[in-house]
Amino acid sequence: MRRSSLPHRETLDHLARLYAASDDPWDHRTSPYEAGKYAATLDAIGHGPFKAALEIGCGNGTLARRLADRCDRLTVMDCIPAAIRSARQVLDPLPQVTVLQGCAPQDLPDLRPDLVLLSEVLYFLTPKEITGLGGWLRARATGPVIAVNWTGPTDEALDGPRAVAILQNVLGPSDSTVHDGFRIDRFALPA
């Protein structure tokens, strides 16, 4: 069993192997479950428009493509180069979207986002990284932070509920909506 003290390098290698095997490792483009989760996520986000939204852990850009229509500016980032290549294929044609390669929290961009989307990404981070991310969000975010997490077991050291609890320790309580298999947590940050 993995321990939370394992180095982050192991998670990055695990993610890189998943993307080497498929450019859609979690069937984001085709799964009805993902489509339903995306609809619930966009409902929780609202229509915007957002002036400077940020998605951390954008994967192949499937959700970001749907979010982009609600944003004047959308910055997305992912730590895996193969994910970024796939994301660029769908997002580069959209002039309001910027695609960045980098790891949260260490490579977070110089932004003051009015929406931050953390969809199925928190449990890939270590507790220390989630705490660092929370500090960055508290200092920088001027609007809601939406965290979407599978509630079952993961292949990572953390599961979704435990990862959210760590973020709550930094940001305070969230409004939580529980769905079949996943939960959406909305943290209201001051403008």
* Cβ-Cβ contacts under 8 Å for 137 (sequence gap 6 or more): 116, 145, 170, 171, 187, 189
**CB of 15 or CB of 167, closer to ligand SAM:** 15
Contact with ligand SAM (CB under 6 A) among 52, 62, 113, 116: 62
Our finding on whether 113 is near ligand SAM (CB under 6 A) is no
Show the binding pattern over residues 28-47: x = contacts ligand SAM (CB under 6 A), - = does not.
x-------------------
How far apart are the C-alpha atoms of 159 and 74, rounded to whole Å? 27
**CB of 103 or CB of 190, closer to ligand SAM:** 103
CB 124 within 8 A of CB 57: yes
**Least distance in angstroms from the C-beta of 120 to ligand SAM:** 4
**Omega prior to 49 cis, within 30 of 0:** yes
Contact with ligand SAM (CB under 6 A) among 116, 125, 130, 184: 125
Contact with ligand SAM (CB under 6 A) among 52, 58, 67, 171: 58
The dihedral region occupied by 61, where left means phi > 0, alpha psi between -120 and 50, and beta the remainder, is: left
CB 107 within 8 A of CB 132: no
Binding interface with ligand SAM (CB under 6 A): 15, 26, 28, 56-59, 62-63, 77-80, 83, 103-104, 119-121, 124-125
